Amino acid sequence: MSDTLTPDVIGRRVEVNGEHATVRFAGVVPPVAGPWLGVEWDNPERGKHDGSHEGTVYFKCSQLSKLQEVSLRNCAVSCAGEKGGVAEACPNIRRVDLSKNLLSSWDEVIHIADQLRHLEVLNLSENKLKFPSGSALTGTFSALKVLVLNQTGITWAEVLWCAAWCPGLEELYLESNNIVISERPTDVLQTVKLLDLSSNQLIDENQLYLIAHLPRLEQLILSDVGISSIHFPDAGIGCKTSMFPSLQYLVVNDNQISQWSFFNELDKLPSLRALSCLRNPLTKEDKEANMTRQLIIASIGQLKTLNKCEILPKERRTAELDYRKAFGNEWKQAGGHQDPDKNRLSEEFLRAHPRYQFLCLSTCVYAGGLQVADFPLEQSVPLEYGAPEDWELKTQQPFMLKNQLLTLKIKYPDQLDQKVLEKQLPGSMTIQKVKGWLSRLLKVPVSDLLLSYESPKEPGIEIKLENDLQSLRFYSVENEDCLLVRW
Summarize pLDDT for 438-486 with one digit per residue, the tens: 998 889 999 999 999 998 888 888 888 988 888 888 888 888 899 999 9
Query: Residues 167-217: pLDDT tens digits?
Result: 999 999 999 999 999 999 999 999 999 999 999 999 999 999 999 999 999
At 407, which amino acid appears? T
pLDDT class of 27 with cuts at 50, 70, 90? confident
Please report the pLDDT score of residue 135 as a whole number.
Answer: 55
Please report the sign of the dihedral spanned by the C-alpha atoms of residue 292, residue 297, residue 300, residue 305: positive
The radius of gyration computed from the CA coordinates of the chain, to the nearest angstrom, equals 34
The answer to whether 306 and 275 are in contact (CB under 8 A) is yes
Q: What's residue 377's pLDDT?
A: 43
Most confident listed range (138-152, 183-197, 283-297):
183-197
3-state secondary structure (DSSP) of residue 110? helix
User: pLDDT: is 341 or 140 the higher one?
Assistant: 341
**H helices within 212-352, ranges in order?**
261-266, 289-299, 313-326, 328-333, 347-352
- Name the helix (H) or strand (E) containing 162: helix 156-163
Query: Which residues, in sequence order, are CB contacts of 291 under 8 Å at separation 6+?
Result: none
Residues forming beta bridges with residue 13, ordered by sequence position: 22
Closest C-alpha among 138, 177, 183 to residue 157? 183
pLDDT digits (tens, 9 = 90+) for 232-264: 999 999 999 999 999 999 999 999 999 999 999
3-state secondary structure of 394: coil
Burial class (CB in 10 A: 0-12, 13-18, 19+), 134: exposed
CA angle 151, 155, 157 (to 5 degrees): 150
The pLDDT of residue 107 is above 70 = yes
pLDDT for residue 376: 45
Q: In Å, what is the CA distance from 265 to each residue of 268, 345, 348?
A: 6, 19, 15
Highest mean pLDDT among 10-14, 54-58, 165-169, 400-404: 165-169
At 474, which amino acid appears?
F
Helix axes 289-299, 313-326, angle to 10 degrees: 90
Please give the Cα distance from 127 to 425 (Å, whole number): 66
Question: What letter does residue 66 receive in the DSSP assignment?
Answer: G
Given CA atoms 458, 459, 463, 469 in this order, what sign does their dihedral have?
positive
Question: Can you tell me the distance from the alpha carbon of 477 to that of 428, in angstroms, rounded to the nearest whole number?
Answer: 10
Residue among 244, 276, 247, 248 nearest 263 (CA): 276
Cβ-based burial of 30 (10 A; exposed 0-12, middle 13-18, buried ≥19): exposed
Burial (CB count <10 Å: 0-12, 13-18, 19+), residue 176: middle
pLDDT for 9 equals 85
3-class secondary structure for 307-327? Answer: CCEECCHHHHHHHHHHHHHHC
Using an 8 Å Cβ cutoff, are 250 and 276 in contact? yes
Q: How far apart are CA 269 and CA 458, in angstroms?
A: 40
Most distant CA atoms of the chain, gap in Å:
107
Dihedral of alpha carbons 454, 460, 466, 471, sign: negative
**Contact by Cβ (8 Å): 293, 282:** no
Please enumerate in sequence order all residues whose Cβ is within 8 A of that of 136, keeping only pairs 6 or more positions apart, or say none.
161, 162, 164, 165
| Size (the chain), residues | 487
At residue 369, does pLDDT exceed 50?
no
